[in-house]
Structure 1
């Protein structure tokens, strides 16, 4: 099995993975870290009430919600939602209930404001 394979993510397979601190109230499990100009792929786990401050996307970002609800200024995204954030777009992200998302970034985001 390739190093980058994770089993049964949509059925809760992420629950057995190791997560590390990412931001206050948000942990990360790297599936593929950024290397040079290669995209990064990870799982983010938000505690209830956690947020990521306003940021700009320096590359395309793709999110698939695996559990809970993730929100931004455009709405709330539940299990199975796929969210695409275009290059140059800006938003903040939060989860009132807690959530787990699969995320792929072409490039790291640029934080614009700290909450």
Structure 2
């Protein structure tokens, strides 16, 4: 396992980072914000019961679950799960117990349902 991955998964290296607002009960730590044609890379921290409404992926999205469980209509993804959402796919995301994920977006998502 690469050292960075080991530090994030095993040692919880993300726990000391500063997170800011993203959505209700979901906070973000930007590793690399979107710039021109460069993808965005961030850590998202979901509190227990937090969710992101249905959205469409306008580019490729990849996720590595670092802690907890992230869920969508296709299933539940625990620590160490690697998720790929192709351009054009749609889903909503939630975490019943809370989670932290490493996420990369090629392009921002389009929110379809926003309460």
User: What corresponds to 2:32 in structure 1?
Assistant: 32
For residue 57 of structure 1, report the CA deviation from its aligned partner: 0.2
Listed one character per residue, the Cα deviations across residues 1-20 of structure 1 (whole Å, up to 9, x for unaligned) are xxxx8992112000000000
Distance, in Å, in 2 between the alignment partners of 1:25 and 1:7 is 27
User: What corresponds to 2:104 in structure 1?
Assistant: 104
TM-score by length of 2: 0.93
Listed one character per residue, the Cα deviations across residues 26-66 of structure 1 (whole Å, up to 9, x for unaligned) are 00000000001210000000000000000000000000000
Root-mean-square deviation (CA, aligned residues, Å) is: 1.4
Question: CA, structure 1 residues 6+18, in 2 after alignment: closer, same or farther (shift >3 Å)?
Answer: farther
**Structure 2: unaligned runs, 5 residues or longer:** none
**Structure 1: unaligned runs, 5 residues or longer:** none
1:57 equivalent to 2:60? Answer no
User: What corresponds to 1:9 in structure 2?
Assistant: 8
TM-score by length of 1: 0.93
Tell me the secondary structure at the aligned position of residue 30 of structure 1.
Answer: strand
Distance, in Å, in 1 between the alignment partners of 2:90 and 2:6 is 32
Runs of 4+ in 1 over 4 A off after TM superposition: none
For residue 85 of structure 1, report the CA deviation from its aligned partner: 0.1
